[in-house]
Chain A
């Protein structure tokens, strides 16, 4: 069995309690949510925080709801809840499609949306979903809270705008009537990280694309999105030719690297193929097909 280094532990009862504990335990303390990235890293001794602040019991971080024109997902909402949420299913098929492909039921029963966002793995599926849907996150500190667009959230692999003394509390997504969405992923095996993934939404109105979003992960897309491709599609008919051209723009903007999941040329090819497939299905869904 892999054994972690000695570590302190404190259980937070509220967000303010968690913030106080973070401050008390100092720079080398870490928030633990589902723990399905952090704990394995600790066991492999890639990570060795001095203390874990456990937010699993913080009630205010739970639940999925609608506030005005936005869907609000608490940071401690588990993947399994995202997968089965009727609210999310009603507005965006992409959540269910992506979640079905994230890890396995054991991980999904523990892992959280807030944890996934903050881990900021360059292959994270929910980062592509969040970028595609142009969502935002709410970040809380002792002095107040701020909202950051997900397309502005990542500062690099495993790095985000959440400071050591802050906690991500919510992930928010705008509701778009008439939007169709879809997620496409190639993995080497069920439960593996993606070789490449693409998620999209499309709103087709009067026969043309009125609005769209494209998210990609594991392929070196800056901020997990493809704004040039989106701009290209707006106002155009969702024909196979246009969708493919947009997908090609998305792929062109990617900068994947070779690893055991696949060579860079293949990942770039997938960026196109998967974006195209997601766009096709999103556009079709928006048109009620």
Chain B
């Protein structure tokens, strides 16, 4: 199945270049030798706990912390009022009570005036042990004046809705971005509206509209968020061990937030136990550990528990989408319009490029070739936790892929056309690439029909349809769901993509030691993606050095060059390209050294894996290892050549890469109980060239489990009183192996034309593509009951209700 070229094996049995090899980091993980933030223990270190708001919306009348301060072992109790008195000499504010978000909003570090969501940070206790810190929380007496809360995003803009952000002088719950806009549009509004109106008037056309919710979910990484801050009172040096997907970006943000000189900040992200976007943002807890160290003169550890992670850190999705699709009766799509109400929570803390306030949602036109598309996204504040872009979503592409794949199925139902046939009629043809989408994306490469036909072949699609018809005749309900998704991953270019003004390009450094062993220094941070393996393989591919001879250093800002971090599947598209580029620089340096040693012109040399040799005389050559030693030797080098093979590079991607895939899900539904069994899941991914196919497959497996989870069970809902109904793993359900079938994977390889090794990102593909496949399968199964749509999660209750013709509203408490 795996289309990787045969490559020679190293002495350790690893491929020299691309191919499956075991993850080198697993040796320490499976032995319990990983080093996570909570494993960091510094001499004299203090512990901490955060007192959180029990209310979604309340005015703080008073805080009495005297009893907590009197508890033996408590060192300091910090409140928002105290933070407001700690001067912060920075450009972004003058004290520590508020901090900037990644979307140019402000967020309370500790609440001073009001609490605005359940779980918001109210006080910070520093103590000699985490147990004492936690005990002290119960001794803090906060008097609240409880206010009405805005829990239903659809009511956020009601004239009588309580105003959440009165701290900013707001009079309603609208959100204004850094450009002054209160809603974000893309595509051609007029042409799209005209096309839809024309279709409505044309008896040969149909128009279908559906309300589609992508409810609030949570990344729920196995390791929760935390930090250990050590601010040396003598040198002013801050060392911050932290759960960050983007250590360099965090360093710069702390320089801005804390007003510390950036050269005195060292951010270390040791092993990270899952991120999925949850560890992109800067949380109050991180800032509090820094302030705590500043005020106590000692290292301070903050580590949240599971409920704190679920209730207060960055959620994902929460998009209420109204989608309208127009098509001819033959099934040719004419136009799609999507209107979105985006629930951003109490602070606009979305992590996304500045020029893309709705992320890359406007890639929603999908994998189909039609001229007219338009979307409008209107964000609102609600009394819910802030965040917004997290959970393997490629900057909102998950929502985009879901809405188009769902509404295409609605169209198929309306046309009574097979959803596979409808898709095949509209997929972008291979000869249209690079393809300019109606909302302005330049898809780099693709052979969509080939991928779809492969998925259908693996699934045995026609046979499945026959089986379905037979079963229906017997009163058994199976469903077949298809999703064809296209992602755009690997942000920048930096000209158009930045976060807080930091352009999305990645630095990299490669050192080749005299014995031919190498060290690659990366800006991106692995949270489980196996960068230490994959990046060594990229260098191995370019230089012929065995992967086991290449160490990869990452996660320490003092040890690595600047870069924007790992999210939006950007590590391989951006830093992977950087690794290739820097290795090629080394190869060119090696060529000059080899030419000097071989006493010929560099122009006379040719490269084969791991070796420069003289054209026409293959015996006469030097291996990269020999050249490495020569570069440090007495060998006389041409004028202007410095010696050594080390090199650095900064990679500024010319465009995103556009991975895509076709997923087919087969479910069996018990319509009397509403239970769904995912029987089969076929996933054909095209992520361009695969560096380590085994790791790619592992990423796809994880993403498919994510997708099944979101489609069937994962949910953070709220009741009208503002209570978070997904605040523990008893309430926030993650799928287990029991809910996941034995995945059937396939691949096509369409290299990215602009990436040095033709690779595209794949980390989020399966999460982006799979929810629609599962939902489409369930709806397909129960379509004989007249069901065209029901919102995620499709719990047994929701499926049964849909069969009854009364699907549930899932973002609010079940009634």
Name A residues whose Cβ lies closer than 8 Å to a Cβ of B: 1-3, 5-6, 44-45, 104, 186, 188-193, 195, 258-263, 266, 269-270, 273-274
Beyond A2-B305, A45-B138, 4 additional pairs, beta carbon < 8 A: A44-B728, A261-B814, A262-B814, A266-B796
Whether the Cβ atoms of B739 and A190 lie closer than 8 Å is yes
User: With the chains together, A146 CA to B793 CA distance in Å?
Assistant: 48
- Which residue in B134, B738, B813 is a CB contact (below 8 Å) of A3? B134
Across the two chains, which residue of chain A brings its CB closest to B135? A5
Contact assessment for B728 and A258 in the assembled complex, using a CB-CB cutoff below 8 Å = no
Take A188-B713, A262-B795 as given contacts and tell me if A2 and B801 are in contact as well, using a CB distance cutoff of 8 Å.
Answer: no
Chain B: which residue is nearest A104 at the CB level? B736
Closest residue on chain A to residue B726 by CB atoms? A260
Contacts of B38 in A (CB 8 A): 1
Shortest distance from the beta carbon of B586 to any chain A beta carbon, whole Å: 45
Main SS class of interface, B = loop
Q: Which 10 A-B pairs have the closest CB atoms?
A: A262-B797, A190-B738, A2-B305, A3-B134, A266-B797, A189-B733, A186-B673, A3-B131, A258-B814, A273-B672
- The reply to whether the CB of B332 lies closer than 8 angstroms to some CB of chain A is no
Contact among B305, B306, B713, B808 with A189 in the assembled complex (CB-CB below 8 Å): B713
> Please, could you name 17 A-B residue pairs with CB atoms under 8 Å apart, sorted by A?
A3-B305, A6-B135, A44-B307, A188-B795, A189-B713, A191-B736, A192-B733, A195-B797, A258-B813, A260-B725, A260-B814, A261-B814, A262-B795, A262-B796, A263-B801, A263-B815, A266-B796
Bound-state Cα–Cα, A195 to B800, Å:
13
Chain B residues lying within 8 Å of A186, measured Cβ to Cβ, are 673-675, 796
Q: A195-B796, A260-B731, A263-B797 are known contacts. Are A1 and B713 too (CB-CB below 8 A)?
A: no
Nearest residue (CB) in A for B737 is: A190
Tell me the minimal C-beta distance from A111 to chain B in angstroms: 15
Which positions 224-248 of chain B face chain A at CB distance < 8 Å?
none
Find out whether the CB atom of A190 lies under 8 angstroms from the CB atom of B303.
Answer: no
- Interchain nearest-CB distance for A198 vs B (Å): 11
Q: Report Cα–Cα, A192/B797, bound state, in Å.
A: 14
Q: Given contacts A186-B675, A188-B796, A263-B815, is CB(A1)–CB(B733) below 8 Å?
A: no
> A-side binding surface: helix, strand, loop or mixed?
loop
B:107-134 near A, CB below 8 Å: 130-131, 134
Complex alpha-carbon distance, A190 and B739, angstroms: 8
Instruction: Give min CB distance, A265 to chain B, whole Å.
Output: 8
Tally the A-B contacts, defined by beta carbons under 8 Å: 75
* List of B residues within 8 angstroms of A45 by Cβ: 138
Q: Is the CB of A2 within 8 A of B800?
A: no
Q: Point out the residue from A189, A193, A260, A270 that lies within 8 Å of B813, measured CB to CB.
A: A260
How many angstroms from the CA of A187 to the CA of B355 in the assembled complex?
A: 44
Q: A193: nearest residue on chain B (CB-CB)?
A: B730
Chain A nearest CB from B411 CB (Å) reads 30
**Cα A169 to Cα B563 with chains together (Å):** 63
**In the bound complex, how far is the Cα of B419 from the Cα of A2, in angstroms?**
48
- Taking CB atoms, residues of chain A closer than 8 Å to B735 are 189
Name the contact of B739 in the complex, choosing from A2, A189, A260, A266 (C-beta under 8 A).
Answer: A189
B217 within 8 A of A: no
Q: Shortest beta-carbon distance, A257 to chain B, in Å?
A: 10
Chain B 672-702: CB-based contact to A (< 8 A → 1; otherwise 0): 1111000000000000000000000000000
- Residue of A whose beta carbon sits closest to that of B801: A266
Q: How far is the CA of A191 from the CA of B305 in the complex (A)?
A: 21
Contacts of A2 in B (CB 8 A): 305-307
B717 at the interface (CB under 8 A from A): yes
Alpha-carbon gap, A119 to B713, bound state (A)? 26
CA distance A273 to B673 in the complex (A): 8
Given A5-B135, A195-B796, A273-B672: A189 in contact with B303 (beta carbons within 8 A): no
Instruction: List the A residue with the shortest CB-CB distance to B719.
Output: A260
Chain B nearest CB from A182 CB (Å) reads 15
A259 touches B814 (CB 8 A): yes
- Give the residues in chain B near A190, CB-CB below 8 Å: 736, 738-739
Partner of A266, one of B303, B715, B728, B800: B800
Q: Please report the C-alpha to C-alpha distance between residue A186 and residue B306 in the assembled complex, in whole angstroms.
A: 26
Q: How far is the CA of A191 from the CA of B796 in the complex (A)?
A: 15
Chain B: minimal CB distance from A123 (Å) = 11
Interchain CB contact (< 8 A) of A1 among B305, B725, B736: B305
A3 — which chain B residues lie within 8 A by C-beta?
A: 130-131, 134, 305
Task: With CB as the reference atom, state the residue of chain B lying closest to A273.
Answer: B672
Contacts of A195 in B (CB 8 A): 796-797
